[in-house]
Structure 1
Amino acid sequence: MIDYTPLYAGLQHIPALRPWLTTLPQQISEGLSAARWGDLPDWQAVLNALPDITPSSLETVSEVRVGGASDATEQQLQQLETQLRKLHPWRKGPWTLFDIFIDTEWRSDWKWDRVAPHLHDLSNRLVLDVGCGSGYHCWRQFGAGARRVIGIDPSAKFVAQFYALKKYMGLEKPVDVLPVGIEALPANLQAFDTTLSMGVLYHRRSPLDHLRELKETLRPGGQLLLETLVIDGGLGDCLVPEDRYAKMRNVWFFPSTATLESWLRKTGFVDVRTVDLDRTRLEEQRSTDWMRFESLVDFLDPEDHSKTVEGHPAPLRATLTAIAG
C-alpha cells in the first residue's frame, strides 16, 4: 500500500525536482528497509488490514476530517480503530476519520494556527516540510492551496501512519511523506517556494549547517518558516545542555531569538523576522489514549513548571520567517 509511483510521475513534470528521481527511489527503499525497522512488517500488516471505506467528504482547511460515521458499518469502524491503535504512539494531529477521533500527543492544529498567518500565500506553491512526522501540517498546507507538498521524516512508523490516513484522504492527492532526512535532497536544489522546519533545529549537531541545507532547498525569494526551541537572552546567548533537556537525549543548541536571527543572516537569508514566541502549555502536549507514554508534564520540574526536570528553562518556542537571498 505504500506506493510512491504517483509522486515519481508528478516529479517528472517539475523540472527543478526531476533530477532527484535518479536517487529518490533507492533512498526510499533504504528508508523503508525491514533490516533497519524490525517492526516494519507489522506496520505493513496494519495497512493491509485497513477496511475499504469510501469517505463522503474531506476537510483540510479548518481541520483534518475525513468522512463521517455513516460512511461505514459498525464492524468497519471497529476494525479501523483496532488497526489504527496498533500504530501507537500517535504524536502529531489531531485526526478525525469517520468520527473516530485520534487524540494525538500534540495539538498540532494549535501550532498551525500560530504559524499559518506568517506564511506567504500557499496557493499553487511547491512546499517542503522538514521533520513532518506523520504529515499533519502537510495536509493543512495542502488545504491552504499548495499544489504539491513533500514532507520528509526518517521514521518509517510516521510513514505508516501517513499512509493509513492517506488511504482514505486520497492516494492520488499531491501530498507525500518520505522516509528520508534533509541530507537526501540533492545539494543546492533551489526548487521549493516554501520550506518549513518545525521542531528540528535543536536536534541538529550543527545548526548552521541545517540552516544552510534549508536555504539550498529554496528558490531565490522562497520563504523559510522555522520553528524551534529558544531561550530568553540577547545576541550571542545560547544554551548547550551537557546531557538531557526535558528528558530528551538528542538535543544540542537552544539559541536566543537574536542569536538565531544572526545565524539565519549568516547563512544567506534576508528579511529575517521573529514572528511568534509561545511557551508550550500542558494542554498542547500531553499523554492521551492514543499516546500513552510520558509527555510534557513529566518533563517539567513538578514544583516549578518554569523549569525542566534538569533545571533548564522550560520549553519556549519561537517562529521565524526568512527569505532565501
Structure 2
Amino acid sequence: MSTAVVSYVVNNGPRPVAPATAARVREAMQLLDYRPNASARALRRGTTETIGLIVADSLNPFFAEYTAELVRAAAAVGKQLLIADINQDARAEEEIVDELVSRQVDGLLFASSFARLERSRTLQVARVPTVLIDCPGPVPGRRTVGSDAAGAAEMLVDHLLAHGRRRIGMIVGDGGFGDPDPREQGWRRALRAAGLADGALVRVPFTREGGYAGASALLAEDPGLDAVFASNDLQAIGLVRALHEKGVRIPAEIAVVSFDGTRESEFCWPPLTVARQPLEKLASEAIKLLDAPDVARGTHVQLATELIRRSSCGCAPVAIDEPRVDVLTRQPGPDEES
C-alpha cells in the first residue's frame, strides 16, 4: 500500500479510497496508535482550522451558553475553538491575543466590550480576521454580530405597560455594553411613547451582586415603583433575592423582567419574563462572518430577540419540560427479609 493512499485516508482526500482499503488503513492506525501531526497539516493546508474566542467572564451564564453554541457552530464547519478568559482584566487582553495569534488561529472572536475605542490597538495588532460578538450596533471598520437590544427593551417595557405598570425603573450596567447602553435608550423611548416620565435608574455591575445592591437604590429613588427592567439576567436574579428579603411580593407589588434569557432565568423564583437572545443563530452568523473575507468591514448582523412570558411580570406560570426520571427501587440484600 502506497504512502499516498494512506495520506488520502488520513486527510479524507483529495482522492477517494476503496472502503475496504480505508478500513485497513484505519485499523493499522489504531494498532500503531498513530496520531496525525496537526502542525504539519497546518503548514501544508495553510490553516489550523482553529478560532480564538476571547471573553471577559466565562462564568457569566450568558457567555457560557453563547460559548457552547459557538463551539457547535465552529464544529459544523470543521473548526475548533481555543477559548481564553481575561477574567475582567483588560490588561491581559493584548498578551492573550498575541498568544492566540502565535498559535496561528484562523480568526478571533471578541466580546463586545473589546470594541471600546481605548482598546482599538488590541484589534489592530490581531493581524487575523476578527468579529465582535454580543455587539449592540455597528463598529466602524469591524464585522459585528448582536441582538437588537434597544428593540428588546422597548418590547419588555411595552409588555409591562400592558400589565398596567406605570412606574417602571431600570437597573442598567456600568458601561461595558456601549455608551449609552441601547437597552437604556429603548427603555426611555418606550416610556416616552406611553406619555410617561423616565423612571428610577441605577447603574451597577452586570452581576448578581449588582442587581442585589440596585434594589435598595431603586426603592430609595422611587418608593412607589411597580416594575423593574434589568439589563441582564444576573442583575435580575440579584434584584429578585433582594426584593424577597425586603418582603416585596413579585409580581403583585413589583414586576421584574430582564434581557438575555439564559437557563438561569427559568429557574429563578418567580421565573423571569425575558427578551431571549437567539444564541444559536448569533453563533452561526459570527462563524459565517469570520469565514467571509469578502464581507465589507463595518458590516453588522443584528437579530431580533424573543419575548418569553413567565410569571415574574404577572403572566400565568409556564410549566418546565421535565426530563424523564427513572426511580430505582432498592432490592433487599441476601440477609434481609423480602
Same fold (TM over 0.5): no
Instruction: Give the TM-score, by structure 1 length.
Output: 0.33
Higher helix share: 2
TM-score scaled by structure 2? 0.32
